[in-house]
Amino acid sequence: MATTSEPPVAPVPRPGWRDYATLTKPGITALIVFVAVGGYFAADPSAFDPVRFAVLLATGTSASAGAAMLNHFLDRDLDAKMKRTRHRPLPEARIAPTSSAAVVGLGLLALGVAVASVLLNALTGFSILLGGLTYVVVYTLWLKRRSSWNIVVGGFAGSAPALAGSAAATGTWTHGALAVAVLVFLWTPPHFWSLALLLRDDYSSVGLPMLPRMDDPAYSARIVVVSAALLLPATVLVIVLAPITWPAAVALLAVAAGFLLVTVPLWNRVERPLARRGFVYSGPYLLAVLLALVANWGLLRFGFPGV
- 63-75 pLDDT per residue, tens: 999 999 999 999 9
Contact, 229 vs 246, CB < 8 A? no
Averaged pLDDT of the chain: 93
Query: In angstroms, what CA-CA distances link 268 with 6, 90, 221, 271?
Result: 62, 40, 9, 9
CA 128-134-137 angle, to 5 degrees, is 120
Q: In the predicted model, what is the mean pLDDT of residues 130-139? A: 98
pLDDT of residue 307: 75
Q: How confident is the model at residue 15 (pLDDT cuts 50, 70, 90)?
A: low
Contact, 13 vs 94, CB < 8 A? yes
pLDDT of residue 17: 77
Contact, 30 vs 60, CB < 8 A? no
The pair phi, psi for residue 306, each rounded to 5°, is -80, 170
* Cα atoms found within 13 Å of the Cα of residue 127, Cβ hemisphere only: 33
pLDDT at 223 over 50: yes
N-term to C-term CA, the chain: 93
CA distance 228 to 128: 26
Q: How confident is the model at residue 174 (pLDDT cuts 50, 70, 90)?
A: very high
pLDDT at 10 over 70: no
CA distance 182 to 189: 12
pLDDT at 250 over 50: yes
Tell me the pLDDT tens digit for each residue of 70-112. 999 999 999 999 999 999 999 999 988 899 999 999 999 999 9
Sequence-ordered alpha helix ranges (H) in the chain: 17-23, 26-43, 50-74, 76-79, 99-119, 122-133, 150-154, 156-170, 175-198, 200-205, 217-229, 231-241, 246-263, 272-301
| Residue 140: Cβ within 10 Å count | 21
Q: Under CATH, which architecture does the 17-301 domain have?
A: Orthogonal Bundle (1.10)
Amino acid at 191: H
Contact, 304 vs 245, CB < 8 A? yes
Query: In angstroms, what CA-CA distances link 87 with 23, 264, 285, 297?
Result: 12, 34, 28, 42
Q: Please give the distance of CA 225 from its chain centroid, rounded to a whole number.
A: 20
Q: Which residues contact 171 (CB under 8 A, 6 or more apart)?
A: 121, 123
pLDDT at 21 over 50: yes
CA distance 72 to 257: 34
Contact, 231 vs 187, CB < 8 A? yes
Domain ranges of the chain: 17-301
pTM score, whole prediction: 0.92
